[in-house]
């Protein structure tokens, strides 16, 4: 069967999605342009027409994945409900015990970012935008009198640092159970907001 001709934008999205899948399956270091091309049944030349190097392709794939995660975060945080409910939903989704996919992808990204400046920029941007979004909602909750937090920015940093660390322990090492990670996440969120864990579950 002949392949459907795609627009440039559609083809790029197809290539990025395939690259994300290949990174998750093989890791950043092992994935090749040829792997992406083979997965889609296209030539290496077509991939390199859209992305001139593997490094450019990988960085763009991570940026594509990041935008998807940030769009989901934005949807959760824009709900018409209390700041506490929105924050709780976002943290539970982001946590390695939640529905967010791709922790293996991001652990790969953090590792490769040590040596790849373009990838480091993508992962740093994602990290900063996550923290800023959480800090904004925490500040909204404080202003509305829902909870107490003298340092929303610091709270967002501590929460994401915990969740990132738990992701490594759970995903890479299996050193923490899902139940314990979930309990620690709730405890940390409650502590940052001056609430009890029971308050989060109401």
102 vs 153, higher pLDDT: 153
For residue 149, what is the domain's CATH number?
1.10.357.10
Q: Is 40 part of any domain?
A: no
Pick the most confident of 11-20, 89-98, 171-180.
11-20
Q: How many CB atoms lie within 10 A of CB 65?
A: 23
What residues make up the domain containing 152?
A: 62-200
Q: What is the mean pLDDT of the chain?
A: 89
pLDDT at 48: 95
Contact assessment for residue 170 and residue 176, using Cβ atoms and an 8 Å cutoff = yes
End-to-end CA distance of the chain: 55
Query: What confidence score (pLDDT) does residue 4 get?
Result: 61
Distance in angstroms (rounded) separating the CA atoms of residues 146 and 169: 32
> Does some domain include residue 43?
no
Q: Judge whether 137 lies within some domain.
A: yes
Residues 6+ apart with CB under 8 A from 164: none
pLDDT band for 2, please (50, 70, 90 cuts).
Answer: very low
**What per-residue confidence (pLDDT) applies to 97?**
67
pLDDT at residue number 98: 55
Number of domains in the chain: 1
Is 97 a member of any domain? yes
Residue with the larger pLDDT of the pair 48 and 2: 48
């Amino acid at each position: 069967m002949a392949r459907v001709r795609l627009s440039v934008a559609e083809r790029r999205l197809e290539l990025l999605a395939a690259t994300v899948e290949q990174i998750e399956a093989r890791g950043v270091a092992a994935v090749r342009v040829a792997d992406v091309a083979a997965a889609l049944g296209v030539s290496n030349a077509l991939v390199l027409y859209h992305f001139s190097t593997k490094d450019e392709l990988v960085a763009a794939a991570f940026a594509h994945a990041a935008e998807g995660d940030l769009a989901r975060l934005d949807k959760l945080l824009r709900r018409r409900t209390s700041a506490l409910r929105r924050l709780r939903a976002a943290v539970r989704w982001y946590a390695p015990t939640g529905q967010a996919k791709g922790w293996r992808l991001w652990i790969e990204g953090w590792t490769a970012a040590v040596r790849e400046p373009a990838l480091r920029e993508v992962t740093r941007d994602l990290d900063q935008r996550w923290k800023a979004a959480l800090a904004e909602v925490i500040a909204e909750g404080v202003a509305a009198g829902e909870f107490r937090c003298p340092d929303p920015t610091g709270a967002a940093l501590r929460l994401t640092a915990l969740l990132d660390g738990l992701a490594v322990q759970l995903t890479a090492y299996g050193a923490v159970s899902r139940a314990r990670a979930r309990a620690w996440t709730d405890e940390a969120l409650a502590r940052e907001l001056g609430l009890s864990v029971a308050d989060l579950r109401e």
